[in-house]
Chains A and B, each alone.
Chain A
Amino acid sequence: MIRISVSDLETYRYWKASDDSTVEGLISRLTKQDPPTPQMEAGRAFAKLVEHASERALFEEEQDGWTFFFHFDAEITWPHVRELKTEMVIQTPVGPATLVVVCDAMDGRVHDAKLTESIDVERYLDSLQWRAYLAMFGAKEFVYHLFKAKYEREPGRTDEGGTYHKGAVRKGPVMIEGYEAVRFFAYPKMREDVERAVCELAEVMAGLNIGRVAA
C-alpha cells in the first residue's frame, strides 16, 4: 500500500513544473529528508496558533519561538471543528494507494489557513489541495484564509551578475500585514482529476521505491 498526502501531490506538481528539477530533489522532498525552512517552521507554528484560536481578537501571539503581530482588522470565521482527517483508497496501476488529508477547519465548507509572503491567488488555481479536500469531505466550497507575512531577515546581498538575494529569515517576529479569504468551488469530475494525480504519483513513487507502508 502506498500512502500519499496532499502535500506529496503538491510537491510532485511543483517538481514537474520546475525547469531545474532533479529526481534526487524529488526523492528528498517526498521522503522529507530536507530540513524545514524558517518559513515552513513559522507556517507550522502559525497552524498551531490558529488550531487553538478561541473567539477573541488576535494581536500579538507567541507560538513555538515565533511571535505573530497582526497589523490589520478583520472578522475571521474559524469553525469549531478543526484538524479533521480523512483517508481514501484509490486503485492505481501499481496497487491501492491511500490518500490522506487533514483539513484545518470544517463547517460544511472546508477551511485552510496559509501564511504566505505574497497573496497570489493564481498560485492556488491549479492546486490539488482544495480539489482533494472538496472531493474527500464531500463539500462544495473551500476557503483559503491567506495571511500575508513579513519576516525579519539578515542583510541581503547582490551577486556578481547584479541579482539581489534576500537575506535569511530570522526566527522571531513575524508581521501579519494583510488577510484575504479566497474561495474555490467543486466542479463536475473534480474527483477524477484527483484520482488521476494520485495514480500518476503512485506510479512514480513505486518506480522510485518510496512511500510504501504495510497494508
Chain B
Amino acid sequence: MTGDANKLYSGPAVKAPKVVQIFLNGDSLYLLYENSEVWRWGCPPNEFDRKEWSRIPGPYDVEAGK
C-alpha cells in the first residue's frame, strides 16, 4: 500500500499479540497467543533430531491437547 499526499493518515497501528499461555505436550512446547494463533516448537513428523516452529491450524483445545 502506498500513501496519497492529499490524504490525512493516522499512521500504521502496531499490534504485538501477547503470549497468553505456554504449555508442554510430550516433547513439544506450545505458545498460545491472544489472537488465538498457536505455535508449536517440536520435531516435524518422522524426524527426531531437530525441532522447528510450526503453526497449529484451527482452534487448539488446551485441555484435550489437540
Listed in ascending order, the chain A residues whose CB lies under 8 Å from chain B are 53-59, 70-80, 107-109, 137-140, 148, 175-180
Complex contacts, B9 vs chain A, CB 8 Å: 59, 70-73
Contact A180 B1 (CB under 8 A): yes
- Measured CB to CB, the closest approach of chain B to A182, in angstroms, equals 13
Contact B15 A78 (CB under 8 A): yes
* Complex alpha-carbon distance, A139 and B40, angstroms: 10
* Complex alpha-carbon distance, A176 and B39, angstroms: 32
* Complex alpha-carbon distance, A74 and B15, angstroms: 10
Interface residue tally for chain B (C-beta within 8 Å) = 26
Contact A59 B11 (CB under 8 A): yes
Among the interface residues B15, B16, B39, which one has the most CB atoms of the partner chain A within 10 A?
B16
The 7 closest A-B pairs by CB, nearest first: A108-B39, A71-B3, A178-B2, A59-B11, A138-B52, A70-B11, A72-B3
Since A73-B12, A107-B17 are in contact, a sample of 13 more A-B pairs with Cβ atoms closer than 8 Å, ordered by chain A residue number, is A57-B12, A59-B9, A70-B11, A72-B1, A76-B12, A77-B17, A78-B15, A80-B18, A107-B37, A138-B50, A148-B2, A177-B3, A180-B1
List 10 interface pairs A-B (beta carbons < 8 Å), by A numbering.
A53-B16, A55-B14, A57-B11, A57-B14, A72-B3, A73-B12, A138-B41, A139-B52, A148-B2, A179-B12
- Measured CB to CB, the closest approach of chain B to A101, in angstroms, equals 15
Verify if B23 is at the interface (C-beta below 8 Å from A): no
> Are A77 and B12 also in contact (CB < 8 A) when A137-B53, A140-B54, A178-B3 are?
no
Contact B52 A79 (CB under 8 A): no
Contact A76 B51 (CB under 8 A): no
* Complex alpha-carbon distance, A107 and B40, angstroms: 10
Nearest neighbor of A79 in chain B, beta-carbon distance: B16
- Measured CB to CB, the closest approach of chain B to A75, in angstroms, equals 5
8 Å CB interface, B16-62 against A: 16-19, 31, 33, 37, 39, 41, 50-55
Contact B5 A71 (CB under 8 A): yes
Complex contacts, A74 vs chain B, CB 8 Å: 1, 12-13
* Complex alpha-carbon distance, A176 and B53, angstroms: 32
- Measured CB to CB, the closest approach of chain A to B17, in angstroms, equals 7
* Complex alpha-carbon distance, A195 and B16, angstroms: 33
* Complex alpha-carbon distance, A72 and B13, angstroms: 10
* Complex alpha-carbon distance, A13 and B22, angstroms: 40
Contact A78 B31 (CB under 8 A): no
- Measured CB to CB, the closest approach of chain A to B35, in angstroms, equals 8
